[in-house]
């Protein structure tokens, strides 16, 4: 039957070719998902625990005007005017954004990371230029959104959106201003109605927080980011979900909260994580002094190691002593029999790779030009959260917990990598040809394994029924690095274990944040 379909398709294509070709539309997993219709409204979310805000009233929201006020009626009329010539493009915009603000902004972030995740090309003298946040549009464009950079970016935006949203829910409960479609029953509504007070708008809070932080994190893409935010706000007006003052209050709140996160970001030590010539040399010399073989870059010309200081970046959930306490024991010594065996095992994996193994390597590779492993776990999580019909604020809470743990995984893993400075398998056996690019940093422990171990633990806590599925995915992601020839088994096994422990911190927080 399947074959028959295939042949008929081919036949149909031949026919259609004469008429101008088959449809080449591609299926996108989230292009046509329904509007958000939460099973639980989470109206009490105003009392959940924030990450950075001192309290949910740190950034006060002014009382709204009454729905009987002529200004308010004018704002409802703005909706009616906008809906008067409702085009199919506008309907598409409403449909797109109604799927959920946190989801869509997470997708936009994944896109920005993919676009900017490209290693700079070398200078003529064999050195490499570093992207500069003060001159972001000059080549190399800022940032190089590699996995640690991306993990941190996803985490800040997710946490800021969460903190801003719970503050918004707090004020929604206090002011209890009805949605415009409840204030004026003649209003045409393009999305499912709910009982949540609409001031300040949760969509505007999410967009406001994202825009403010993304200005800092992806400065070269500001025009694009602003355009998406504008579309988002326009969709809220067109749909009849919010009046202008709902949006303005929401954006102001989101922006204020994000500014507090931006201030933290400027002082979290990520800015100096790239190191300099002296610190790179020190890493190598320290390793030699310990009697070990130091890592070297496989790129030509040799590229400085990626973000060697990232292990010192300030986490939200784990203090610096906690990061050191999570550091596992050393990898097998380079000259040991154990390491020779591990290297031989990697060689055997790449010698005659099966098609299925290559598929696994490429499924999880998430290398240059992609949204990175943290982005991949966000995509996996989003696909599951879509099925759960979560409220906007629970979307934000879950995404914040996930991205906090991915950020922690980056910090802890990078600390371990530069503490041991262990060579990649190909350095010990040049016959090891890899099925994906060798990442430009030391081998022990595997970043993919740490990210995946942490993400699977947190997602397993949030969705217990799927815990085993996530654990199996993490296991496959971890092994993909051995199949690809870029990690020893020990890197991956230890990485998964460390990742799981990192996930424990976010799980502890989840148990006490007031949302369970």
Partner 1 sequence: MFFKYLPACLLAGAILASTCRVEAQTETDAILMNKSQFCSGFLYSHSAWDEYWEGTLKRNNLNLGTVTTQSVLYMATYGITDNLNIMAGAPYVWTHASAGTLHGMKGVQDISANIKWRGVNHAFNQKSKLALYAIGGFSTPLQNYVIDFLPFSIGLGSTTFTGRLMADYKYKRWFTTLWGAYTYRNNIKLDRPDYFDTHNHNSNEVKMPNVSTFQLKAGYRGRYLIAEASLTRMHTIGGFDITRNNMPFPSNQMNASVVGAGVKYTLKQHTNLSFIGNVGYTFNGLRINDHYFLESRNVGKATTFSGGIFYAFYTQKTARAAHKDNTHQQ
Q: What are phi and psi of 138, to 5 degrees?
A: -75, 145
Among 24, 55, 134, 267, contact with partner 1 (rule: CB under 8 A): 24
Q: Cis check for the bond before 200: say yes or no (omega within 30 of 0).
A: yes
Token pair for 108: 């936009």
Q: How far apart are CA 454 and CA 346, in angstroms?
A: 25
Binding flags for partner 1, 196-235, as an x/- string (CB under 8 A): ----------------------------------------
Region from 317-325, 356-364, 390-398, 406-414 binding partner 1, contact rule CB under 8 A: 356-364
Does 365 contact partner 1 by CB under 8 A? Answer: yes
CB nearer to partner 1: pick between 282 and 293? 293
On whether the CB atoms of residues 489 and 446 are closer than 8 A, the answer is no
Rounded to the nearest whole angstrom, what is the least distance from the CB of residue 116 to partner 1 in the complex? 10
Does 355 contact partner 1 by CB under 8 A? Answer: yes
Among 370, 384, 388, 489, contact with partner 1 (rule: CB under 8 A): 370
Phi-psi region of 100 (alpha: psi -120 to 50; beta: other; left: phi over 0): left
Q: How far apart are CA 51 and CA 513, in angstroms?
A: 9
CB nearer to partner 1: pick between 278 and 431? 431
CB nearer to partner 1: pick between 194 and 370? 370
Does 298 contact partner 1 by CB under 8 A? Answer: yes
In terms of Cα–Cα distance, which of 198, 27, 207, 201 is closest to 104? 207
Cα 382 from chain centroid?
10
CB nearer to partner 1: pick between 22 and 65? 22
Q: How far apart are CA 118 and CA 370, in angstroms?
A: 9
DSSP designation for 29: T
Look-up of token digits 């010698």: 351
Rounded to the nearest whole angstrom, what is the least distance from the CB of residue 378 to partner 1 in the complex? 10
Rounded to the nearest whole angstrom, what is the least distance from the CB of residue 428 to partner 1 in the complex? 13
- DSSP assignment of 442-502, as one string? --SSPHHHHHHHHHHHHHHHHSGGGHHHHHHHHHHHHHHHHHTTSS-HHHHHHHHHHHHHH
CB nearer to partner 1: pick between 38 and 425? 425
Token pair for 511: 């148990």
- Three-state SS for 250? helix
On whether the CB atoms of residues 185 and 224 are closer than 8 A, the answer is no
Region from 111-119, 191-199, 264-272, 339-347 binding partner 1, contact rule CB under 8 A: 111-119
Cβ neighbours of residue 385 under 8 Å, at least 6 residues apart?
Answer: 103, 395, 398, 399
Does 136 contact partner 1 by CB under 8 A? Answer: no
Q: Whole-angstrom distance between the N-terminal and C-terminal Cα of the chain? A: 48
Look-up of token digits 């506008």: 90
Among 485, 499, 503, 504, contact with partner 1 (rule: CB under 8 A): 485
Among 335, 369, 389, 508, contact with partner 1 (rule: CB under 8 A): 369
Binding flags for partner 1, 300-329, as an x/- string (CB under 8 A): xx----------------------------
Q: How far apart are CA 272 and CA 127, in angstroms?
A: 18
Rounded to the nearest whole angstrom, what is the least distance from the CB of residue 298 to partner 1 in the complex? 6
Cα 14 from chain centroid?
42
Token pair for 156: 């800040």
Rounded to the nearest whole angstrom, what is the least distance from the CB of residue 41 to partner 1 in the complex? 27
Site size toward partner 1 (CB under 8 A) is 52
Does 469 contact partner 1 by CB under 8 A? Answer: no
Q: How far apart are CA 485 and CA 480, in angstroms?
A: 9
C-alpha torsion sign, points 348, 352, 356, 359:
positive
- Rg of the chain, C-alpha, whole Å: 25
In terms of Cα–Cα distance, which of 397, 373, 327, 288 is closest to 45? 397
Does 106 contact partner 1 by CB under 8 A? Answer: no
Among 42, 90, 107, 163, contact with partner 1 (rule: CB under 8 A): 107
In terms of Cα–Cα distance, which of 182, 190, 217 is closest to 88? 190
Token pair for 165: 């949203």
Rounded to the nearest whole angstrom, what is the least distance from the CB of residue 364 to partner 1 in the complex? 8
Binding flags for partner 1, 427-456, as an x/- string (CB under 8 A): -----xxxx-xx------------------
Does 362 contact partner 1 by CB under 8 A? Answer: yes
Region from 114-122, 163-171, 239-247, 390-398 binding partner 1, contact rule CB under 8 A: 114-122
CB nearer to partner 1: pick between 12 and 325? 12
Rounded to the nearest whole angstrom, what is the least distance from the CB of residue 481 to partner 1 in the complex? 14
Does 297 contact partner 1 by CB under 8 A? Answer: no
Among 2, 5, 21, 185, contact with partner 1 (rule: CB under 8 A): 21
Region from 104-112, 162-170, 277-285, 309-317 binding partner 1, contact rule CB under 8 A: 104-112
Does 14 contact partner 1 by CB under 8 A? Answer: yes
Residues that bind partner 1 (CB under 8 A): 10, 13-14, 17, 21-22, 24-31, 107, 110-111, 114-115, 118-121, 139-140, 298-301, 350, 353, 355, 358-359, 362-363, 365-366, 368-371, 376, 379, 426, 432-435, 437-438, 485
């Amino acid at each position: 039957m399947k074959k028959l379909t295939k042949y008929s398709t081919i036949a149909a294509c031949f026919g259609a070719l004469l008429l101008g070709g088959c449809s080449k539309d591609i299926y996108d997993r989230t292009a046509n998902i329904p509007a958000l219709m939460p099973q639980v409204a989470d109206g009490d979310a105003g009392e959940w625990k924030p990450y950075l805000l001192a309290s949910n009233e740190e950034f006060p929201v002014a009382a709204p005007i009454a729905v009987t006020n002529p200004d308010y009626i004018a704002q409802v009329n703005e909706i009616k005017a906008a809906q008067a010539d409702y085009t199919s493009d506008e309907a598409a915009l409403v449909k797109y954004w109604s799927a959920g603000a946190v989801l869509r902004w997470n997708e936009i972030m994944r896109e920005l990371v993919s676009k900017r995740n490209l290693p700079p090309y070398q200078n003529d003298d064999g050195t490499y230029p570093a992207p500069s946040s003060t001159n972001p549009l000059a080549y190399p464009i800022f940032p190089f959104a590699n996995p640690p950079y991306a993990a941190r970016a996803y985490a800040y935006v997710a946490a800021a959106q969460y903190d801003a949203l719970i503050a918004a829910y707090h004020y929604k409960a206090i002011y209890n201003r009805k949605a415009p479609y409840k204030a004026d029953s003649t209003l045409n509504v393009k999305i499912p109605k709910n009982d949540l007070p609409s001031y300040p708008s949760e969509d505007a809070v999410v967009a406001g927080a994202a825009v403010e932080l993304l200005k800092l994190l992806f400065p070269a893409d500001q025009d694009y980011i602003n355009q998406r935010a504008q579309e988002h706000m326009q969709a809220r007006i067109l749909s009849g979900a919010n009046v202008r003052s709902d949006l303005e209050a929401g954006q102001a709140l989101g922006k204020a909260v994000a500014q507090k996160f931006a201030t933290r970001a400027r002082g979290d030590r990520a800015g100096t994580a790239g190191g300099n010539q002296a610190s790179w040399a020190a890493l190598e010399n320290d390793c030699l002094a310990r009697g070990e073989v130091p890592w070297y870059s496989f790129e030509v010309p040799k590229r400085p190691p990626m973000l060697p200081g990232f292990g010192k970046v300030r986490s939200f959930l784990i203090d610096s002593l906690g990061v050191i306490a999570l550091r596992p024991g050393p990898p097998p010594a380079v000259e040991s029999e154990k390491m020779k065996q591990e290297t031989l095992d990697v060689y055997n994996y790449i010698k005659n790779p099966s098609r299925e193994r290559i598929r696994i390597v490429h499924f999880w590779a998430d290398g240059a030009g992609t949204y990175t492993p943290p982005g991949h776990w966000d995509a996996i999580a989003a696909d599951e959260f879509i099925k759960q019909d979560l409220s906007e604020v629970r979307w934000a809470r879950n995404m914040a917990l996930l991205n906090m743990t991915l950020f922690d995984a980056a910090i802890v893993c990078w600390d371990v990598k530069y503490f041991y400075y262990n060579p990649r398998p190909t350095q010990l056996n040049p016959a090891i040809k890899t099925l994906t690019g060798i990442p430009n940093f030391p081998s022990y422990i595997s970043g993919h394994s740490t990210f995946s171990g942490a993400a699977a633990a947190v997602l397993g806590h949030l969705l217990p029924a799927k815990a085993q599925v996530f654990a199996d995915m993490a296991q496959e992601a971890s092994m993909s690095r051995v199949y690809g020839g870029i990690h020893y088994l020990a890197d991956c096994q230890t990485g998964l274990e460390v990742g799981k422990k990192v996930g424990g911190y976010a799980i502890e927080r989840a148990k006490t944040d007031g949302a369970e």
